[in-house]
Amino acid sequence: MLEKPNSPGALMILTSTNSLSLLLVKQGLENAEAYVGLCLSVPRDANTKVRAWYSSSLRMVPSRTLEIICKFPNQNFTISHRPLSDAESKNLEYAFPSRKATEFCIVSVNLSCDPTVTGFGIPFHGENQTIDGWINEDAPIQGTIKLTQLLQQRSFMLLVQATEEQAEDFFDITASSFKPFHYGYGNNHAWDMNRYNHQIPRNRGKGFSPRVHYDDFNQRDTALTQMHKVGDEPATTTERFVCLLEPEGIFDPKHWRATRRALKGDFAPARVEFNELIEDPDDSREPRNVTWTVVQLTYASDLMRQVDLTNRIALGLRRPASGKDRKYTPEASKDYESALDTKRIPLKLICESGIANERKRIDAVNRLSRLGTWPTVMANDTLSKGKRAALNDILIGQGLWRVWKDTSSFRFPHFDVFDGVTAEVRDACLTHVFEDDRERAQEYFSKLHFGIGLVSAAPGMGKSHLASILITLLCLNPSIRKLYVSAASNVATDNILLRSSNIAESTVSTLAGAGYPVKRLMLVRGYNGKMERENCLKALVGTPFEEIGIWNSSPWRFEHSLCWWTLRALGSKAAPPLTSHDCAELWSLHQHLGALVSPNPKVFHRDFTDFIPLVRVARGLMTPEEYLERYTKSVQNRSLTDLMEHVISCANVVATTPAASSYDPYLTFNSKMAKAVVFDEAGTLFRADGLLVFGNTPRPMIAVGDPKQLAPVLATAIERLDVRRADRHRDRHRDHHDLPTNRFVGEAEISWLSWFMHLGIPVFHLHTQHRMAKGLFDIMLEASYDDIKPYFKYSPICRPIDFPLGIKVEQYVKIKHHLPSGSPDSLLPVFFNTLNCPCRNYPDNPSRLNPRQADCIEKYLEPMMKELSIQPADVAVLTPYRANMRTLQKRFRKDQVLKEVVCTTIDSFQGREAQIIVVALCVTEETGPSFAADPRRLNVALTRHKSALFIFGDINTIRKSSYNHEDVSKSKEGKTLLDPNTMDRVFQMIRASRRIVNLEGDPDVDPDRYWKRFRKFSKFP
């Protein structure tokens, strides 16, 4: 009830209906300021076929309503309540005969300053035109008052369904939670190790809950920057740390944490320096120590059997392939026993800490609150200032109320991907979209709210395929032409670049064949700049370079790299020649470079004269020996660096990881030239990584991924202050032993994609399964993706008849085990219930392993693959635990049939697929589900297959009678929200299918007596 303007005593009345809900709310969050407020809720369009909406719940709960909350300013409002008068009681009981007046009271609220409003300005499509008009056109609500007027009211009178006692309790706001909340890390969030070293120990405590809505930008910036502070570091000014392999005396827990963080995984790069000098070394004028590369070895590694690793770090040393370091041979023993009495030699272990990337992330977060426009390509946009302010408020979770109050005429413009695109280009691109999605995609991408498009889909539904089409379309849009593409990992970035290149080539060929004037697009896969220069120089002088492989951990690949495009521009025979049909800008550069060495030179670009030596050696006009002898390394590097800047400026697309985007030449392209951004696998991308690429001033952006699969992974995710080594190594603050080193680990649960989904940006879903044989996605559809069930279907290409390997496997298991089948036109998973297969863990590592289960897998797969002539490349074995992965690898290496089968962790296999997937759950009824119950991890594991899915585990892993959610809320190896419901639903469906095979573990394979000796050393239960 609101007083009419200029009519004292006259009231305007808003009533709660199916179209409008008005509620008094009181919230007291754990790490936020509590509040009392008025919540206005209106229904969204129920049709989610084109646009779907999600709430702020981290469980990815669909949102059916828009909530706009008017938060009363704490300490600056009064609230009172009274019973209804006799006249009011009669009127109410007349209007609502089933209600009693004593069930209601009148509440009066008076504010002494403006309220805080959240949810205003968020994209909204109403249930009908009337509701849509209230929110989007500011039409009077119920013909009474405009939304913007209502939210500026300072006095409210409300008829509330509550007794006086209930109202008295509800309006008690004397609790401490109603005071302003501060994380306690100040207002300065710039990278400063000295400040961190005082700040972090002072604020030790339990982990903070992740949030989407913050009270202010300082809370947001605190959470996003502190998340990437990697804990105590041994050094404060350097980006490397050095520790001894076998330290004498106390080795502080922070050093163990930092070392294990840097060595995580068997193939993490590291080096050791021996106490041996090289005189007159190959690469330096000063003597230096002999340096070898190393990899970490753990208890489960083949070479560590029977080796005591208590308070030791085991390393595998590799002799260099060339150079003077190769000539050195350290003192060595033939076996572990003889090595025990060997004299110890001092050496240094040098690991890369990754601080540089964390610092870049923190800088990207701080950029949100700065006044400057980034990327600078947006500086010419007349709305850039308003867009920058709007994005800042949106990412706090407040909506656009503050921006609207400052500039009531400001409207964040929509973006139409097809605007300015010719019909020929539009149709050529849309032809690649799956038919079921084509019309919906055209509708969604014709109106991107805030210029942001979100694509979410389950595995096998064509997310990256659609992203590749959109990348091509944006390149051919005259208003965009150049864009930046990024993904969380090198593998994901490689994949999206390759897919985009294929789609672009096909689209351009179609258009050119029809006579449309179009050139080939230039898509660059950018890697580390130093690596690109070194490999380009090797190609120019005829030295072989090595691409990614078993013995080369570098992610670099030649085709589409900046090196590859540079060689093409130079006219080198090491790369395919350019033609006039290629990218016009690159062809022009190629022509200018050619003019530098032409026998009949025409006018050429004067700034290009420094490139003459490069052109000459590239085209065989100068021998490599002449080039290397005549020009110093600094000249070679400088000229290649300058040329690569010219090459990259010609590109339509540059694709890198977020880390690489912060270094030139990619940084300059992104800031000054890229008018749009596309993220693939955005569900695994840190929010700070997204900001690193996107900037603080919005431009068109499309983010593609699956928020129900693995979230971003923090290096500090599982670290506790007490590493539980020997007592003398414990942290001095014993009361901190179970506290996390990083209180903001939970913030990593919110990815770049899910952040925008939780903030209310509409989502485009894909609903059709294109990868798996019909029936093989049913379990995860029910267990995890039930929100798309109304529209889900299998593509016609998913008929079992089109999966001959799947049919062979199905016939094999049915005959061998007499298993029931589903319908005749579907295939179903098989569960192998491994009995008497205990789950183990070594004392130096929380990671688990199950050797007997691995034996069961080997004994089952080997004869099946032989009989059915299954190729190893068609099979992949996945497990949640790294230690179990090594156990499986060790077992398979001994078998001729299985030695080439991929065995890896679930996390490492995200984004990949195989015909047959075998999942080794490892955990048992005794251990409980542990972090194998993580819904996201299960979503990955149980959706990688095409033709068959085998699950090996204990069907009784989840014991409902004794299960407690708190038991798995903090896993020693996992950081995620460990909800067992997904695993439980999967097991229920498996039981209902009756496709369970019992296998008995062999006690001789993994004797219990072997593990008894570790119990007194174990740091993990």
Rounded to an integer, what distance in angstroms lies between the CA atom of residue 793 and that of residue 772? 12
In a domain, 17, yes or no: yes
431/498 same-domain check: yes
The rounded percent of the chain whose pLDDT value lies above 90 is 47
**In this structure, how many other beta carbons lie within 10 angstroms of the beta carbon of residue 1007?**
10
pLDDT band at 723 (very low <50, low <70, confident <90, very high): very low
pLDDT at 35: 86
Which residue type, as a one-letter code, is found at position 304? Answer: M
Question: Which amino acid, one-letter code, is at 78?
Answer: T
DSSP labels for 364-375?
HHHGGGSSS-SS
Taking 70 as the threshold, does the pLDDT of residue 244 lie above it? no
With a cut of 80, say whether residue 301 has pLDDT above it: no
pLDDT for 845 = 64
- Output 351 or 126, whichever has higher pLDDT: 126
Helix (H) or strand (E) holding 273: strand 270-278
Report the alpha-carbon distance of residue 886 to residue 302 in Å, rounded: 9
- pLDDT of 750 > 90? The answer is yes
Find out whether 157 and 79 touch, Cβ atoms under 8 Å.
no
pLDDT band at 659 (very low <50, low <70, confident <90, very high): very high
Gap between the Cα atoms of 380 and 706, Å rounded: 34
Separation of alpha carbons 443 and 418, rounded Å: 10
Structure confidence by residue, pLDDT tens digits, 896-914: 899 899 999 998 888 889 9
Predicted confidence (pLDDT) at residue 670 exceeds the cutoff of 80: yes
80 assigned to some structural domain: yes
pLDDT, greater one: 244 or 830: 830
Count Cβ atoms below 10 Å from residue 76 Cβ, excluding itself: 12
pLDDT at 28: 77
User: Span 9-36, mean pLDDT?
Assistant: 81
CA of 80: how far to CAs of 27, 106, 155, 170, 174, in Å? 18, 8, 12, 11, 14
Q: What pLDDT is stored for residue 259 in this prediction? A: 60
Total residue count of the chain as it appears in this document: 1021
Return d(Cα 724, Cα 849) in angstroms, integer: 20
Domain hosting residue 677, numbered range = 391-395+412-521+653-705
Please compute the mean of the pLDDT values over residues 436-461 and round it to a whole number: 95
Nearest-angstrom CA–CA distance, 1008 and 855: 15
pLDDT at 68 over 70: yes
In a domain, 374, yes or no: no
Query: CA angle 243-248-252, nearest 5°?
Result: 55
H or E element, residue 280: none
641-653 pLDDT, tens per residue?
999 999 999 999 9
Q: How far is CA 48 from CA 51, 415, 425, 451, 646, in A?
A: 5, 20, 28, 20, 46
pLDDT for residue 725 is more than 60? no
Compare 684 and 238 and report the one with higher pLDDT.
684
Same domain, 511 and 535: no
Q: Give the pLDDT band of residue 34 (cuts 50, 70, 90).
A: confident
Same domain, 665 and 810: no
Say if residues 111 and 72 touch (Cβ distance below 8 Å): yes
687-694 helix and 217-226 helix, angle to the nearest 10 degrees: 110
Average pLDDT, the chain: 84
What was the pLDDT predicted at 235? Answer: 34
Q: How confident is the model at residue 315 (pLDDT cuts 50, 70, 90)?
A: confident
Which range has the worst mean pLDDT, 289-293, 383-387, 1013-1017?
1013-1017
pLDDT digits (tens, 9 = 90+) for 608-641: 888 999 999 999 999 999 999 898 888 889 999 9
Of the ranges 102-111, 170-179, 724-733, which is most confident? 102-111
Contact call for residues 494 and 525 (beta carbons, < 8 A): yes
Are 643 and 607 in contact by the 8 Å Cβ rule? The answer is: no
pLDDT at 489 > cutoff 80: yes
Q: What are phi and psi of 569, to 5 degrees?
A: -65, -35
Which pLDDT score, from 0 to 100, does residue 975 have? 40
Q: How confident is the model at residue 729 (pLDDT cuts 50, 70, 90)?
A: very low
Q: What is the mean pLDDT of residues 209-221?
A: 89
Name residue, tokens 């207002």: 187
CA-CA distance, 350 to 243, in Å (whole number)?
7
Does 287 score more than 60 pLDDT? yes
- CATH of residue 454: 3.40.50.300
359 has a pLDDT exceeding 60: yes
pLDDT value, residue 5? 64
Query: Is 143 found in the same domain as 22?
Result: yes
Task: Say if residue 801 is in the same domain as residue 920.
Answer: yes
Residue 155 tokens, joined: 């006095």
Shared domain check, 164 and 100: yes
Rounded to whole angstroms, the Cα distance separating 952 from 514 reads 54
**Residues 319, 417 within the same domain:** no
Is residue 243 scored above 60 in pLDDT?
Answer: no
Mean pLDDT of 360-365: 92
691's CB contacts (< 8 A; 6+ apart) are 361, 364, 365, 367, 368
Report yes or no on 745 lying in a domain. no
Highest mean pLDDT among 68-82, 310-324, 447-461: 447-461
- Please tell me whether residues 960 and 834 are part of one structural domain: yes
Q: Which of 392, 399, 393 is nearest to 135 (CA)?
A: 399
Residue 241: pLDDT band (50, 70, 90) is very low
Tokens of 194: 């000295």
Q: Is the pLDDT of residue 556 over 70?
A: yes
Strands (E), 846-901: 848-849, 875-879
> Over 60: is that where the pLDDT of 552 sits?
no
Least confident of 305-314, 320-329, 373-382: 305-314
Helix (H) or strand (E) holding 261: helix 253-262
The reply to whether 582 and 551 lie within a common domain is: yes
Q: Is 822 helix (H, G, I), strand (E, B) or coil?
A: coil
Lowest mean pLDDT among 204-208, 499-503, 701-705, 860-864: 204-208
Taking the C-alpha atoms of residue 60 and residue 787, their distance in angstroms, rounded to an integer, is 10
Boundary (domain end) residue, out of 178, 198, 221: 178
Are 451 and 531 within one domain?
no
- The yes-or-no verdict on residue 11 having pLDDT over 90 is no
**384 lies in a domain?**
no
Q: What integer pLDDT is reported at residue 328 of this predicted model?
A: 78
Q: How many C-beta atoms lie closer than 10 Å to residue 730's C-beta?
A: 17
Model confidence over 818-827: pLDDT tens digits? 998 877 889 9
pLDDT at position 332 over 60:
yes
Backbone angles phi, psi at 649, to 5 degrees: -70, -20
Residue found under tokens 């007027």? 149
Q: How confident is the model at residue 120 (pLDDT cuts 50, 70, 90)?
A: very high
**Do residues 842 and 905 share a domain?**
yes
The residue to which tokens 């008094």 are assigned:
24
Helix (H, G, I), strand (E, B) or coil at 401: helix
In the listed set 147, 162, 178, which residue is the last one of a domain according to the structure?
Answer: 178
Longest C-alpha distance within the chain, in Å? 106
DSSP assignments along 7-50, one per residue: -TT-EE-----SS-EEEEEEE--TTS--EEEEEEEEEBPS--SS
Q: Which residues contact 872 (CB under 8 A, 6 or more apart)?
A: 865, 897, 898, 899, 900, 901, 902
Percent of the chain past pLDDT 70, that is, above it, reads: 83
Angle at 506 (CA atoms; ends 503, 512), nearest 5 degrees: 135
Tell whether the model's pLDDT for residue 47 goes beyond 50. yes
Looking at residue 41, its pLDDT comes to 94
Task: Report whether pLDDT(679) > 60.
Answer: yes
Q: Which two tokens stand for residue 791?
A: 């529209």
Query: How confident is the model over 205-219, as a mean pLDDT?
Result: 88
Residue 454 lies in a domain: yes
Geometric angle at alpha carbon 919, from 914 and 920, rounded to 5° = 145
From 60, 224, 258, 112, select the one nearest 709 (Cα to Cα): 60
Provide mean pLDDT across the span 486-495. Answer: 91
Say how far residue 981 (Cα) sits from the centre of its chain.
Answer: 23
Q: Are 892 and 903 spatial neighbours (Cβ–Cβ below 8 Å)?
A: yes
CA distances for 355 relative to 239, 275, 695, angstroms:
6, 27, 20
Do residues 147 and 254 share a domain? no
For residue 665, say if its preceding peptide bond is cis, omega within 30 degrees of 0: yes
The band of 177, judged by pLDDT with boundaries at 50, 70 and 90, is low
Least confident span in 264-268, 334-338, 346-350, 893-897: 264-268
The region, left, alpha or beta by phi > 0 then psi within -120 to 50, assigned to residue 102 is: alpha
Residue 601 has pLDDT above 80, yes or no: no
Q: If you search the block for the tokens 């929100």, which residue do you land on?
A: 787
Q: What is the pLDDT of residues 188-197, one digit of tens each?
A: 998 887 888 7
CA–CA distance, 995 with 817 (Å, rounded to integer): 9
**Residues contacting residue 118 through CB under 8 Å, at least 6 positions apart:** 68, 69, 71, 213, 397, 398, 399, 401
Total structural domains within the chain: 5
Peptide bond into 375 cis (omega under 30): yes
CA distance 988 to 150: 50
Report if residue 183 sits inside a domain: no
Own/partner long-range contacts of 21-28 (Cβ < 8 Å, ≥24 apart): 21/65, 22/158, 24/107, 24/158, 24/160, 24/170, 25/69, 26/170, 26/173, 28/175, 28/177, 28/178
Helices (H) then strands (E): counts for the chain: 32, 31
What's the pLDDT score for residue 4? Answer: 65
Q: Both tokens of residue 93? A: 């009981």
Kind and range of the H or E run holding 693? helix 687-694
For 154, 474, 475, 652, 653, the CA distances from 418, given in Å and listed in that order, are 45, 8, 11, 17, 18
* DSSP-derived secondary structure letter, 932: G
Instruction: Please tell me the distance from the alpha carbon of residue 777 to that of residue 772, in angstroms, as a whole number.
Output: 7
Q: What is the DSSP letter of 114?
A: P
- Would the pLDDT of 446 be above 90? yes
Token pair 């010219």 in the structure block, residue: 646
Among candidate residues 649, 666, 689, the one where a domain is terminated: 649
Condensed to tens digits (0 to 9), the pLDDT of residues 966-1019 reads 344 333 333 444 567 889 999 999 999 999 999 999 998 888 887 776 665 444
Cα–Cα distance between 136 and 401 in angstroms, integer? 13
Q: What is the pLDDT of residue 692?
A: 96
Those residues whose C-beta lies under 8 Å from the C-beta of residue 426, and which sit 6 or more positions away, are 418, 473
Would 203 be classed as within a structural domain?
Answer: no
pLDDT higher for 199 or 433? Answer: 433
Phi, psi of 446 (to 5 degrees): -85, -10
